[in-house]
Structure 1
Amino acid sequence: MDWATPLMLGQFIAIFIMAVALGLDALSLGIGIGMKGIRKLDILKLSVVIALFHMLMPLLGMFMGSYVSSLLGGIATKAGGALLLLLGVHMVYSSLKGEETRSIDHRTLWGITLFALSVSIDSFSVGVSLGMFAGDMALTVVMFGTVGGMMSIIGLLLGSKMGRWIGEYGEAMGGVILLAFGLHFLL
């Protein structure tokens, strides 16, 4: 494979731009979770799972092909937005209620899976669309996973720093960020 050709370079740039666009929700989720406070080991675990989901979801989408694209194109994005919205509402509610309610724990298998699914479900619909074109599937999947994982690390670290500055309102602000991104995907 010759990477010097304009076609390959153009494909690489297009995939990178799509990966960054899809990774923005991982960044926002990372900021929201990081504001609650997170350990470095949990940053690593959550980011690895998000990266895996960012590879798995478009891969599944690519295999589904054009049939599913016509049925689910906008639904996957709306479902991801709804999940982010629900997570945001839950985080804001938990922070306002205090210790009486528990927010979704990002350290449990269920919490990690829910967070990773919420930020990677839109990758499925992109994968479905990409499956209709003859592109480099391996490059796409690896790029989506790498960028999604890196953006979640950046978001978690940034949110962790912001959470220390903001103090006890960090979880509420993180929830507001998730609410905003959820509404963005729904509208």
Structure 2
Amino acid sequence: MFFLAVGLAMDAFSVSITRGMTLKCNFKHAFIIALFFGGFQALMPVAGWLAGEQLAALVEVWAPWIAFLLLLLVGGKMIYEGLREEDDEDVCKVFSLKDILILSVATSIDAFAVGVSFAFLNTPILMPILIIGLVTFGLSFLGCYIGKKMGHFLGNRIEILGGAILIAIGLKILLENLVT
């Protein structure tokens, strides 16, 4: 279950690194990001478990596209903001709960499908969601600080790199699911 949780958390971890690079991430921001990512990773399997068979086919088809579009939207916005002429303080200080919410959904859609599979296997849901949520929380919190350290080295145009990384993650999700 731990390895499943780590696998599910990798997108959230990567996105946390990009958010850490582009925000002046303090403890409060890192905690909020980790709470959203961990919370959504824990709630989506419950939603999938409750939905069971009814939504399984729909999720399998549309989830990669939804994740891709959400990450493209946020990544494109980050690139746009990185290209705008502003001083360093304006570019880095933006912390948007709306963006974090969108990213939380985008990175946790695969957890919905895992919840559907738990329903098919008659797997009790409580222990898996606790493990998934806590692992994602921890990795996301760590990712913010790793990104913060990397952002110092890469300078004030890190927003463009962060946006490109989000788009690449979305494309990876889409391509992996189109090929399989």
The TM tier, using the shorter chain, reads 0.7 to 0.9
39 and 98 in structure 1: CA distance in 2 versus 1, 3 angstrom threshold: farther
Measure how far apart 1:26 and its partner are. Answer: 0.5
Q: C-alpha separation between the residues in 2 aligned to 1:123 and 1:86? A: 21
Measure how far apart 1:58 and its partner are. Answer: 0.8
Corresponding residue to 1:115 among 91, 94, 103: 103
42 and 52 in structure 1: CA distance in 2 versus 1, 3 angstrom threshold: same
Is the counterpart of residue 70 in structure 1 residue 28 in structure 2? no
Is the counterpart of residue 33 in structure 1 residue 36 in structure 2? no
Report how many aligned residue pairs link the two structures.
172
Measure how far apart 1:98 and its partner are. Answer: 2.9
Q: Partner residue of 1:61?
A: 48
Gaps of 5+ in 1: 1-14
112 and 106 in structure 1: CA distance in 2 versus 1, 3 angstrom threshold: farther
Q: C-alpha separation between the residues in 2 aligned to 1:81 and 1:150? A: 24
AA of the residue aligned to 1:39: N
Gaps of 5+ in 2: 176-180
Q: Partner residue of 2:112?
A: 124
Corresponding residue to 1:142 among 110, 115, 130: 130
Contact 1:49 1:116 survives alignment (8 Å): yes
Contact 2:22 2:158 survives alignment (8 Å): yes
Q: Partner residue of 2:156?
A: 168
Aligned pairs for 1:42-53 (under 5 A) are: 42-53=29-40
Measure how far apart 1:24 and its partner are. Answer: 0.7
Contact 2:16 2:33 survives alignment (8 Å): no
- Which structure has the larger Rg? 1
185 and 141 in structure 1: CA distance in 2 versus 1, 3 angstrom threshold: same
TM-score norm. by structure 2 comes to 0.86
Contact 1:80 1:118 survives alignment (8 Å): yes
Q: C-alpha separation between the residues in 2 aligned to 1:79 and 1:107? A: 23
Q: C-alpha separation between the residues in 2 aligned to 1:81 and 1:122? A: 12
Q: Partner residue of 1:152?
A: 140
Which secondary structure does the structure 1 equivalent of 2:156 belong to? Answer: helix
The RMSD of aligned alpha carbons is 2.1
